[in-house]
Chain A
Amino acid sequence: MENAAIFGWALLWILFWGALGGVVTPRVYARKDLEISQASFGGAVIGAALGPFSLLPLWFATPKITSRLIGIAIAIVVGIFIAAFALADPDNLCVANGGFVISQLANGIVIGIIYGLMALGLTLIFSILGVVSFAHGEFYMIGGMVTYFMTAEWIPGVSPIIAILASCVVTFAIGYLFERIFLRPMGSGEIERPTEYAILVTFGLAFFLQYLTQALTSAVPVKAQRFFPFPRTEIPADSGALLKMTPGNVTVFDAISIPNPRFTAALLALMMLAALLWFLYRTWVGKALRAVSQDRQAAAVTGINPNSMNTLAFSMGAMLAGLSGASLVQVFSWLPQVGIPAAARSFVIIVLGGMGSLPGAFLGGLIVGLVEAAGTGCIPDATRAAAYIPAYGMVILTLVLLLKPTGLFGREL
């Protein structure tokens, strides 16, 4: 990278003023007897945005820190970050080539939708059971495995739709059995310290499922054929300037290029999302689920059985993970270990979006998808950057947990 110093100094500037704002602002607000619940986080982002030029007015005027203020500050920080990157490395593909940027963004959004779907499952489980399933990645992996083996080995030539449905059934069934045998006793007071128990037992399930899959299949990576190849089309017919489709790819305006597997996976995810929203907001059972997540006792009084809602939520969460795995098995190569990074990504997403918040999970998925796309496309020194990729999400996770454990949309603790 040329002029790496510019980028480094910008980063230092952001970090220094952010830390100062985060530490000093709550004290200023506390001294003036104002609300300090947002002061630490708000002070940090506002300090990071404009440094002393925003911190001094903030400390003197001490306005109420609204989410709009925080949003503007975050936008400025991101702007500074991008500007510094552009100045530091003007020849980078991400700076010099607009088409590449748009293509990366589109791909990021497409993959982010699928990440969001998977995280939705996790957040659904958390909002009803109050449990983070550490086996979420394994359901994702099993969903992909079932789809691959259905289409490629057991019944070659079967419609991918049937394979995907089968993987939904399998993951739903595993989730159902597990919840009935291992998580149901938590509600009855049979188990001491249920939260810790849930962490360990889902962890045990992850261990079990991972090695079971490895023992049943093998450690050789597999990858499914693309489910639905595009028809060959060109609009306009001779040049394909507006839209150009080949079986493996679609190009819009000669700039945005999305591979077919990602596109179909995102389409499947969107359809599933619509079905999920319809289920949660328009059906009796869905409304019952949301009622339980708001108030268990009150829901029980109105005749909803919270226990069966627990089972339903866990199995549906597992199914959503299985579904995202099933739709991604044509995109990535598949191994029994593939669930670990996927689960880690889901943790990042739900913490970022706010634990238990459905819109938060979806938005978090989009953000993580975009950041990953930018990370893989833009960072120079590729080998080192690639080794750090698992860490980026984790840095976000730890920072959010420390600064704002409620995430973007979470309820205040």
Chain B
Amino acid sequence: MSPTRIYRVAGTITIVLLLLIPLASSELNGLGPLVLSSYFMHLAITAFFYAILASSWSLLAGYAGQFSFGHMAFMAIGGYTSGLIGKFIRFTTAPSELCTDIPLLGNWWLVILNIRRVGTIDESCLDMAKTQTLPAGTLIIFPPVWASIAMGLVMGAVFGLLVGWLVLRLRSTYLALFTIGFSEILRASISAEIPITEGQSGLELVPLFPAGIMGFTSTSKIPPYYAMLLLFLFAMALMTWLAGSRFGLFIRAIREDEEAAAALGVNIVRYKVLVFVITSTLAAAAGALQGHYIGIITPNTVIILQMSLVIAMAVIGGLENIYAASVGAIVITFALELLRTNITIGPLHVDMTLWRLVFFGLLLMLTLRFQRNGLLFPILERISRGRVAQETVSIRVESEELEEVVTEEEVALETEEEETQPASSEENPG
């Protein structure tokens, strides 16, 4: 079997397994052979969430070479848009006259709430309208969750377009600084505008399926599991298609050498902006879904440490491959949870909740230094090589000879590169 075929088969088996996992959940006790707690289901959902973020970031950074630190900001834009729509927008069958009313088709009205804080309770104009102006029997409908999530996606795309367009001229370090600035501004605005976003205490979102679905209650983990899994699979399918098409070739060409790509006829502006729009939309979708699943979103999701978690997942899995990045994210989410148990060795009490992150940071640095393309494929290779039937000595000798030739060539190439390498910095300190 060729390696591609192996990966294809393994991928199909993984997808089927992922689809079947809820059967073993404790909610459906008795259907499966082993029982998975709802905590495990929660971890799986979170793992998919991070997998979407890490793989879309790897498309942006690994494929297109745009090292953006604003990915969590786009995620938060998705979540907050969806949450704010749920908080401020209602549909009614009669004008409320106390709020801002926008007539829609038929006799439906879109009502934008004006929430005032009176003492400790929030009072919205619609509550007052219910007792004063609205005729009896008026229907008041919350905006459907799927629609508010869709609006979250749209906002993610709009902001992705804006940022992508603004950073066209900025490269590497400048881009990183700009996106850090962008996400810090967003975070500060969210924490400061307390009347709108609730600030640090967090914005509450309605559950993903407020009325429950197919016999599951709104607090069940199984519908969100499938929702997040489907989004994850859709994102992977979309990115696989993109990475394999001309789009993928073009963005990789831009990463390697922008001028050369432009000279060969790649529309740099279009593709750089497009990759920003696509990845930020995916991040916003993940954020909106996760926000509705968790039920609350706070500005702390935008802090740099959260972003570095996503980056670390992508890097440790494999920065230049969306699958490696997503597997890295899933494995690390679970690993970080497993490593929570504190260790006591004699008098020494090791608080693993902190030390696991220390090791994690060290692993990140070592991966970058020694395994630039992540740990997933080297590990897979090692495992598969161990299972391969014994190679004949002659093949091994042949391949070693070949390798030697290759390394010699590489050395020659490298020395050439060194000679022609331009000075990396020529700034004048004086």
Within B301-320, the residues touching A (CB, 8 Å) are: 303-305, 308, 311-312, 315
With a CB–CB cut-off of 8 A, which chain B residues contact A340? 303-305
Contact B424 A129 (CB under 8 A): yes
Contact B189 A294 (CB under 8 A): no
With a CB–CB cut-off of 8 A, which chain B residues contact A195? 172-173, 424
> How distant is B41 from chain A, measured CB to nearest CB, in Å?
28
Contact A387 B199 (CB under 8 A): yes
CA distance A188 to B421 in the complex (A): 10
Contact A208 B362 (CB under 8 A): yes
Contact A132 B428 (CB under 8 A): no
> How distant is B339 from chain A, measured CB to nearest CB, in Å?
13
| Nearest CB in chain B to that of A347: its residue | B177
Q: Contact mask B256-290 → A, CB, 8 Å, 1/0?
A: 00000000000000000000000000000000000
CA distance A193 to B65 in the complex (A): 9
- Judged by a CB distance under 8 angstroms, whether A189 is at the interface is yes
Contact A197 B425 (CB under 8 A): no
- Judged by a CB distance under 8 angstroms, whether B13 is at the interface is no
CA distance A394 to B191 in the complex (A): 15
Given A211-B358, A215-B355, A394-B185, residue A194 in contact with residue B424 (CB < 8 A)? yes
Q: For this complex, into which size category does the number of interface residues on chain A fall?
A: 35 or more
Q: Contact mask B396-430 → A, CB, 8 Å, 1/0?
A: 00000000000000000010011001011111111
Contact A197 B372 (CB under 8 A): yes
CA distance A343 to B187 in the complex (A): 16
With a CB–CB cut-off of 8 A, which chain B residues contact A196? 61, 65, 67, 172
Contact B177 A211 (CB under 8 A): no
With a CB–CB cut-off of 8 A, which chain B residues contact A17? none
Choice from A127, A181, A200, A388 contacting B192 with Cβ under 8 Å: A388
Contact B358 A394 (CB under 8 A): no
| Nearest CB in chain B to that of A203: its residue | B308
Given A124-B429, A293-B425, residue A387 in contact with residue B368 (CB < 8 A)? no
Main secondary structure of the interface of B (DSSP, over half): helix
- Judged by a CB distance under 8 angstroms, whether A56 is at the interface is no
With a CB–CB cut-off of 8 A, which chain B residues contact A37? none
Choice from B182, B192, B315, B358 contacting A212 with Cβ under 8 Å: B358
Q: Contact mask A207-222 → B, CB, 8 Å, 1/0?
A: 1111110110000000
Choice from B184, B191, B312, B358 contacting A215 with Cβ under 8 Å: B358
Looking at A63-71, A140-148, A350-358, the stretch in contact with chain B turns out to be A350-358
> How distant is B402 from chain A, measured CB to nearest CB, in Å?
22
Contact A189 B418 (CB under 8 A): yes
| Nearest CB in chain A to that of B413: its residue | A189
Choice from A181, A189, A210, A281 contacting B421 with Cβ under 8 Å: A189
- Judged by a CB distance under 8 angstroms, whether B330 is at the interface is no
| Nearest CB in chain B to that of A201: its residue | B368
With a CB–CB cut-off of 8 A, which chain B residues contact A290? 429-430
Choice from A199, A201, A356 contacting B176 with Cβ under 8 Å: A199
CA distance A344 to B362 in the complex (A): 23
With a CB–CB cut-off of 8 A, which chain B residues contact A96? none
Contact B176 A387 (CB under 8 A): no
Within A119-141, the residues touching B (CB, 8 Å) are: 123-124, 126-132, 134
With a CB–CB cut-off of 8 A, which chain B residues contact A210? 305, 361
- Judged by a CB distance under 8 angstroms, whether B327 is at the interface is no
With a CB–CB cut-off of 8 A, which chain A residues contact B331? none
With a CB–CB cut-off of 8 A, which chain B residues contact A255? none
Contact A128 B425 (CB under 8 A): yes
Residue among B351, B368, B414 with most chain A CB within 10 A: B368
Contact B425 A126 (CB under 8 A): yes
With a CB–CB cut-off of 8 A, which chain B residues contact A206? 308
With a CB–CB cut-off of 8 A, which chain B residues contact A282? none
Given A189-B414, A197-B368, residue A355 in contact with residue B188 (CB < 8 A)? no
Q: Contact mask A253-269 → B, CB, 8 Å, 1/0?
A: 00000000000000000
CA distance A123 to B425 in the complex (A): 12
With a CB–CB cut-off of 8 A, which chain A residues contact B94? none
- Judged by a CB distance under 8 angstroms, whether A308 is at the interface is no
With a CB–CB cut-off of 8 A, which chain A residues contact B181? 347, 394-395, 397-398, 401
Contact B357 A127 (CB under 8 A): no
Within A356-413, the residues touching B (CB, 8 Å) are: 356-358, 384, 387-391, 394-395, 397-398, 401-402, 405, 410-411
> How distant is A172 from chain B, measured CB to nearest CB, in Å?
19
CA distance A347 to B426 in the complex (A): 19
CA distance A193 to B424 in the complex (A): 11
Given A196-B65, A401-B174, residue A294 in contact with residue B426 (CB < 8 A)? yes
Contact B425 A130 (CB under 8 A): yes
Choice from A127, A355, A387 contacting B191 with Cβ under 8 Å: A387
- Judged by a CB distance under 8 angstroms, whether B178 is at the interface is yes
> How distant is B107 from chain A, measured CB to nearest CB, in Å?
39
Choice from B180, B182, B423, B424 contacting A347 with Cβ under 8 Å: B180
With a CB–CB cut-off of 8 A, which chain B residues contact A215? 351, 354-355, 358
- Judged by a CB distance under 8 angstroms, whether B382 is at the interface is no
Contact B427 A203 (CB under 8 A): no
Contact B351 A293 (CB under 8 A): no
With a CB–CB cut-off of 8 A, which chain A residues contact B170? 401, 405
CA distance A218 to B6 in the complex (A): 48
Contact B369 A185 (CB under 8 A): yes
| Nearest CB in chain B to that of A132: its residue | B173
- Judged by a CB distance under 8 angstroms, whether B236 is at the interface is no
Contact B192 A384 (CB under 8 A): yes
- Judged by a CB distance under 8 angstroms, whether B364 is at the interface is yes
Some 13 contacts from A to B, beta carbons below 8 A apart, are: A131-B173, A191-B372, A192-B372, A197-B372, A200-B368, A204-B308, A204-B364, A211-B355, A290-B430, A293-B429, A295-B426, A351-B177, A355-B173
Residues of B within 8 A of A (CB): 61, 65, 67, 166, 169-170, 172-174, 176-178, 180-182, 184-185, 187-189, 191-192, 194, 199, 303-305, 308, 311-312, 315, 351, 354-355, 357-358, 360-362, 364-365, 368-369, 372, 414, 417-418, 421, 423-430
Nearest 4 pairs of A and B residues by beta carbon:
A356-B427, A208-B361, A130-B425, A387-B192
